[in-house]
Amino acid sequence: MIAMLVDVTRCIGCFQCVDACAEENRLDKEVAPLPQHAPDDLSAERWTTVVEGPQGRQVRKFCRHCVDPACVSVCPVGAMQKTPEGPVIYDSSKCLGCRYCMMACPFGIPRYEWDSASPRVRKCILCYPRLQEGKIPACVEACPQEVLAFGERQEILALARQRQSKNPGKYLDQIFGEHEVGGTSILYLSDVPLDLLSFHGALGEKAIPEYSWSWLNKVPSVSLGMAGLMTGLFWIIGRRMSAIEKTLAKEQDDQPQAQGGNGEQE
């Protein structure tokens, strides 16, 4: 499985990765932000951005391509797909527009084409067509500061640990994305906390689909149980209504018939 390392300490905020992404994916760089767009400027036409982190650090933000992605697990039609190589891609021909993927993503990445007549969910696909051609992602190729490194995930993790060991005190003792939510294919080295990217303790190390499937596996038994309960209640209520109707009918039959109009008056 492939991965990308983002070394935050090297980023100068030149945005060449953003421009390369837009050019490679034919995104409209002139589209004005909509009210629905997040403050980080990610949108259906902007799949990656650079945000300002603690101590003025420039931090790149884009899809993490989780090892076990929540967006894929919640998609009811398979529009979100985890490829064997690692990137999480999207098939608009299958999409129902339910936006469950947007709600499930722990990093808040997928964006919706709110202003389109036939809207799609859009996000970084890690230049998957380029990877199939044996090329590296456009952003990696365009970065002038070698902020980005690309390769097999184990090799990228080894590179990150090597940089930490060779530069004591330069980096935090953490590789962001190594374990969070089951691990991601986008890994970060940084000298400042990256809570602004949702890398914080609340995420945990367990993959989100493990939580969701533990509940979804109970759905069939719960559904059968509820069906049985409702059937039982329907039968009990039906018997009670029938008993009430019989009682009322019997009371009416026991009442004396009213006398005719010829009775004597005192």
pLDDT in tens, 11-22: 999 999 999 999
Tokens of 246: 């019989």
Residues of the chain with pLDDT under 50: 35-37, 214-219, 223, 258-266
Sequence-separated (6 or more) residues with CB below 8 Å from residue 133: none
**Would you state the pLDDT for residue 242?**
67
The answer to whether 30 and 213 are in contact (CB under 8 A) is no
**Would you state the pLDDT for residue 41?**
82
**Would you state the pLDDT for residue 93?**
94
In whole angstroms, how far apart are CA 236 and each of 74, 225, 240, 241, 242? 38, 17, 6, 9, 10
- pTM, 2 dp: 0.77
Give the residue among 70, 71, 52 at the shortest CA–CA distance from 122.
71
Angle at 194 between CA 98 and CA 196, to 5 degrees: 45
H or E stretch at 212: helix 208-216
**Would you state the pLDDT for residue 208?**
78
- Distance in angstroms (rounded) separating the CA atoms of residues 40 and 150: 24
**Would you state the pLDDT for residue 225?**
59
User: Which stretches does DSSP call E strand in 158-213?
Assistant: 186-189
Span 213-254, pLDDT tens digits: 544 444 455 545 555 666 665 566 666 666 666 666 666 666
